[in-house]
Amino acid sequence: MIIDLLILAVGIVFVLAAAELFTNGIETLGHRLQVSKNFTGSVLAAVGTALPETLIPIIAIIFFAGNKGHDIGVGAILGAPFMLSTLAFPLIGLTVIVGYLLKKRSISLHAETTGLRRDLTFFLFAYSIALFVVPFESHFVRILTAVFLLVLYVVYVFQTLKGESEDMEATEHLFFAPKNPHPPMWVIVFQVVFSLVIMIAGAHLFVHGIEKISLAFGLDPLIFSLLIAPIATELPEKINSITWVWRGKDTLATGNVAGAMVFQSTIPVSFGIVFTDWNITGLALISGIFAIFSAFLVLTVSYINRKYFAYGFSSGIVFFIAYLYLVLNGVN
Of 175 and 122, more confident: 122
Instruction: Tell me the average pLDDT across 138-147.
Output: 86
Whether pLDDT at 137 is above 60: yes
Quote the CA–CA distance of 76 and 229 in Å, as a whole number. 7
Strand partners, 177: 174
Q: Rounded to a whole number, what is the largest CA-CA distance in the chain? A: 59
pLDDT at residue 309, as a whole number: 81
pLDDT at residue 203, as a whole number: 66
Burial class (CB in 10 A: 0-12, 13-18, 19+), 139: exposed
Whether pLDDT at 195 is above 60: yes
Of the candidates 329, 81, 59, 91, the residue with the CA atom closest to the CA atom of residue 226: 81
Averaged pLDDT of the chain: 81
Whether pLDDT at 119 is above 70: yes
Whether pLDDT at 26 is above 80: no
Q: Is 199 helix (H, G, I), strand (E, B) or coil?
A: helix
**What are the start-end ranges of the H helices in the chain?**
2-33, 37-39, 46-49, 51-63, 66-83, 89-101, 113-132, 139-162, 185-216, 221-223, 229-233, 235-246, 250-264, 267-275, 282-301, 309-314, 317-328
pLDDT at residue 165, as a whole number: 55
Of 244 and 71, more confident: 244
What pLDDT band is residue 167 in, cutting at 50, 70 and 90? low
**What are the start-end ranges of the H helices in 133-224?**
139-162, 185-216, 221-223
Determine which of 71-85, 218-232, 309-323 has the lowest per-residue pLDDT on average: 218-232
Percentage of the chain surpassing pLDDT 70?
Answer: 78
33-37, 247-251, 265-269: range with highest mean pLDDT: 265-269
**What are the start-end ranges of the H helices in 163-184?**
none
Percentage of the chain surpassing pLDDT 90?
Answer: 23
Whether pLDDT at 101 is above 70: yes
Of 213 and 332, more confident: 213
Backbone phi, then psi, for 281, in 5-degree steps? -140, 175
Whether pLDDT at 223 is above 80: no
Instruction: Tell me the average pLDDT across 96-105.
Output: 89
Instruction: Tell me the average pLDDT across 197-222.
Output: 69
Of the candidates 272, 264, 192, 278, the residue with the CA atom closest to the CA atom of residue 234: 264
pLDDT at residue 89, as a whole number: 93
CATH code at 2-328: 1.20.1420.30
CA angle 220, 224, 226 (to 5 degrees): 115
DSSP state of 170: P
Determine which of 16-20, 212-216, 319-323 has the lowest per-residue pLDDT on average: 212-216
Whether pLDDT at 28 is above 90: no
Strand partners, 174: 177
Determine which of 103-112, 224-233, 279-288 has the lowest per-residue pLDDT on average: 224-233
Determine which of 68-77, 123-132, 258-267 has the lowest per-residue pLDDT on average: 68-77
Instruction: Tell me the average pLDDT across 233-248.
Output: 78
Determine which of 89-98, 280-289, 293-302, 303-312 has the lowest per-residue pLDDT on average: 303-312
